[in-house]
Amino acid sequence: MLYCCSCTTPLGPATAAADEEALTGFWFVGQKYYPAAGTAFIERPDHPVFVDLRRWLDRYFAGENPLPDLALNPGGSPFQKEVWDILLRIPHGKVSTYGAIAAQLAKRRGAPFMSARAVGSAVGHNPISLLIPCHRVVGSDGSLTGYAGGIDKKEFLLRLEQADYSGIRRKRG
Helix (H, G, I), strand (E, B) or coil at 37: coil
d(CA 87, CA 97): 10
Statement to judge: residues 44 and 92 lie in one domain: no
Statement to judge: residues 110 and 52 lie in one domain: no
Positive or negative: CA dihedral 19, 21, 25, 29? positive
Residue 143, CA atoms < 13 Å, CB-side half-sphere: 8
Torsion over CA of 83, 86, 91 and 92, rounded to 10 degrees? 30
Statement to judge: residues 41 and 104 lie in one domain: no
- Looking at the structure of the chain, the number of domains it has is 2
Name the residue range of residue 15's domain.
3-61
Residue 169, CA atoms < 13 Å, CB-side half-sphere: 4
Q: How confident is the model at residue 6 (pLDDT cuts 50, 70, 90)?
A: very high
Torsion over CA of 166, 91, 14 and 33, rounded to 10 degrees? 80
Specify if 135 maps to a domain: yes
Specify if 168 maps to a domain: no
Task: From residue 125, give the alpha-carbon distance in Å to each of 58, 112, 129, 146, 160.
Answer: 25, 25, 9, 10, 23
Specify if 66 maps to a domain: no
How confident is the model at residue 51, as a pLDDT?
96
CATH of the domain at 11: 3.30.160
d(CA 164, CA 5): 33
Specify if 166 maps to a domain: no
| Residue 134 a catalytic site member | yes
Question: Above 60 in pLDDT, residue 169?
Answer: no
The mean pLDDT value of the chain amounts to: 89
Q: How confident is the model at residue 167 (pLDDT cuts 50, 70, 90)?
A: low
Statement to judge: residues 119 and 153 lie in one domain: yes
Taking a C-beta distance cutoff of 8 angstroms, is the pair 49, 63 a contact?
no
Mean pLDDT of 96-109: 94
How confident is the model at residue 166, as a pLDDT?
63
| Residues 6+ positions from 67 with CB-CB distance below 8 Å | none
Question: Above 70 in pLDDT, residue 171?
Answer: no
Specify if 71 maps to a domain: no
Specify if 171 maps to a domain: no
Specify if 169 maps to a domain: no
How confident is the model at residue 82, as a pLDDT?
96
pLDDT tens digits along 60-99: 999 999 877 899 999 999 999 999 999 999 999 999 999 9
Among 4, 5, 7, 134, the active-site one is 134
Statement to judge: residues 149 and 82 lie in one domain: yes
Statement to judge: residues 90 and 116 lie in one domain: yes
pLDDT tens digits along 15-54: 999 999 999 999 998 887 776 666 778 899 999 999 999 9
Statement to judge: residues 90 and 53 lie in one domain: no
How confident is the model at residue 28, as a pLDDT?
92
